Structure 1
């Protein structure tokens, strides 16, 4: 009665904690229908086989499959920014449920869940890694091992917002690697990489390449929200 449940989107009263009201839920841009099997972006039409978007066909991806439950707009963007910059940790549980639900991956039981890392200066400034919170919640729900410190962002990269695709990939060159003490743990293990948002895929590609260098097996990626290309 003192702290009634509030909608995670608009703050209105709801029946249960850590959920959305009917209005916010109806306006949440879930990714449905046919999607690119590598990055999770929505595609027109239907298909009985895996299909790929133009970007993934042109550049390739250093992972096997990728998914996102949301498009990065509207309510979804508000939730991501609240989690990323607003200390809205209460969003994690609902977000992890959506991310697990969007994954078609038949992950082996020896798979390890890894978050995309923050540089230490950004981690100190923000006080938490939102990708690690999502990855930990997903690992718990999927019964998989969670290793939050396997990947290291050892070079402080500039903000990628507003940069071109090529500039994003160039900025991430040699910026992320596997922590030497974790190499043996990751060798020959399947990996699920977790991040909050995917735009070009440059950060995830850098993480996936680091895992390949450490001789991991199949690599899968999942993000909370996928930025869609402008029409």
Structure 2
């Protein structure tokens, strides 16, 4: 009886909260009937990345060039990692979600983003990799209070049952924020900024690594982390992000 009474109080509390704080779209704040969801307009504005795509960089192709065809970007500048995948092409809705999650203290969005990422990274999961979030420097972590990549990796670990190691890679040098920098400046900015835990290989136990981050813009950060992992003896590294930039020209983030 006490359990049923407690459950009834819980449901009543939920109803009262819905009246005081009705659910809204996580992107545009339009009224909704469910929490942690998108309104129809914002949902239609998502740009999921699916096949055909470059098997290395995960860039979508307009038409299918065949299973082994690489994008011009992958041919011109082969990345140090094996494969990169992203749930969405970076656009207005994805950008709003990233901004609210990363800078607006909307940490509850990690679950929504991770669900899309889990589907985008399904080619990785059969190898039972170790999930490794891209680290923040200590000073930036103290200012922001959380690392969005760690939150995404935690949600992915729960969704996939995969192990997570948020301490495998360290950010030793404080770098400028990448937003607004050119592609070449981004590479210089993060060069040599990362190192591995002294017992990294022991912690890995032979598993491949999947790096987790929120957005892939030029790839400068994940390439720098991958090189640090490779220098430490890690053989296989893949990359999974919530969104990625797929347009040429001026970088939107």
TM-score range for the pair, normalised by the shorter chain length: over 0.9
Cα distance, 1:51 vs structure 2: 3.1
**Preserved contact between residue 83 and residue 130 of structure 1 (Cα < 8 Å):** yes
Task: Verify: 1:159 aligned to 2:193, yes or no.
Answer: no
- Bigger Cα Rg: 2
Moved over 4 A (4+): none
The two structures have a TM-score, normalised by structure 1, of 0.93
Task: Verify: 1:199 aligned to 2:217, yes or no.
Answer: yes
Residue in structure 2 matching 1:121, options 139, 146, 150 = 139
Task: Verify: 1:103 aligned to 2:94, yes or no.
Answer: no
> Secondary structure of the equivalent of 1:24?
helix
Q: Name the counterpart of 1:40.
A: 58
Residue in structure 2 matching 1:142, options 136, 160, 184 = 160
* C-alpha separation in 2, matches of 1:47 and 1:17: 41
Structure 1 residues 75 and 192, CA, compared in 2 at 3 Å: closer, same or farther?
same
> Secondary structure of the equivalent of 2:221?
helix
Residue in structure 1 matching 2:207, options 183, 189, 192 = 189
Structure 1 unmatched ranges of 5 or more: none
The two structures have a TM-score, normalised by structure 2, of 0.85
Q: Name the counterpart of 1:81.
A: 99
* C-alpha separation in 1, matches of 2:116 and 2:69: 22
| 1:207-222 map, 5 Å | 207-222=225-240
* C-alpha separation in 2, matches of 1:146 and 1:131: 12
Cα distance, 1:32 vs structure 2: 3.4
Structure 2 unmatched ranges of 5 or more: 1-17
> Secondary structure of the equivalent of 2:140?
helix
More off after superposition, 36-45 vs 144-153: 36-45
- When the two chains are superposed, the root-mean-square deviation of aligned CA atoms in Å is 1.7
* C-alpha separation in 1, matches of 2:221 and 2:124: 24
Q: Name the counterpart of 1:52.
A: 70
**Preserved contact between residue 109 and residue 144 of structure 1 (Cα < 8 Å):** no
Q: Name the counterpart of 1:63.
A: 81
